[in-house]
Amino acid sequence: MSQAKRLLNGRHQLALEEHVREGQGPVVMRINLTSVMVDDQDKALKFYTEVLGFVKKVEIPVGEAKWLTVVSSEAPDDIELVLEPNSNPAVPAKEFQRALFEAGIPATSFGVDDIHQEYARMKELGVVFTMEPTEMGEVTVAVFDDTCGNLIQLHQVG
């Protein structure tokens, strides 16, 4: 480790210790939002709610697009998934999204309790899977097409 990096790490540790000494408690950072790029927000909302079972949390018009989030029906006050339009011309989102899809790389992963049950339920609804449930050590994964330009992974631990 370089001397500069050791110095930076030392300063960071001192700042954390001072923060705790002042009675402010440890610094805690949480993930409140995460996003997935979509090619059509309305189509995505329908798929993510009617097929995947998420619940719409926020929908606020913002110009031609909207701030649109969904949450787990079991944890409506937990992490929100932003259905982010990929149409911003200033950001190469479409190209990035297409490259991930073509490489077979999932945009994100959703945890499930019973992957085989979810796989069967979703197949019955017409969802196209690119990978059937596959054991990979302690995890079983499956990958599907979300119809909005993404591959999404399901995972079950244990």
Query: How far is the C-alpha of 7 from the C-alpha of 82, rounded, in Å?
Result: 38
* Spatial contact of 32 and 79, defined as CB atoms under 8 Å apart: yes
Q: Is 98 exposed, middle or buried (0-12, 13-18, 19+ CB in 10 A)?
A: middle
pLDDT 10s digits, 98-127: 999 999 999 999 999 999 999 999 999 999
Q: Considering the domain delimited by 33-157, tell me its CATH architecture.
A: Roll (3.10)
Cα 102 to Cα 33, 56, 106, 149, 150, distances in angstroms: 26, 29, 10, 10, 10
Locate the domains of the chain by residue range.
1-28, 33-157
In the chain (158 residues long), the average pLDDT of successive 10-residue segments reads 52 63 72 96 98 98 95 96 90 92 97 97 98 97 98 96
At 91 the pLDDT is 79
Indicate whether this model's pTM tops 0.85.
no
* Spatial contact of 156 and 140, defined as CB atoms under 8 Å apart: yes
Q: Which of helix, strand or coil describes residue 150?
A: coil
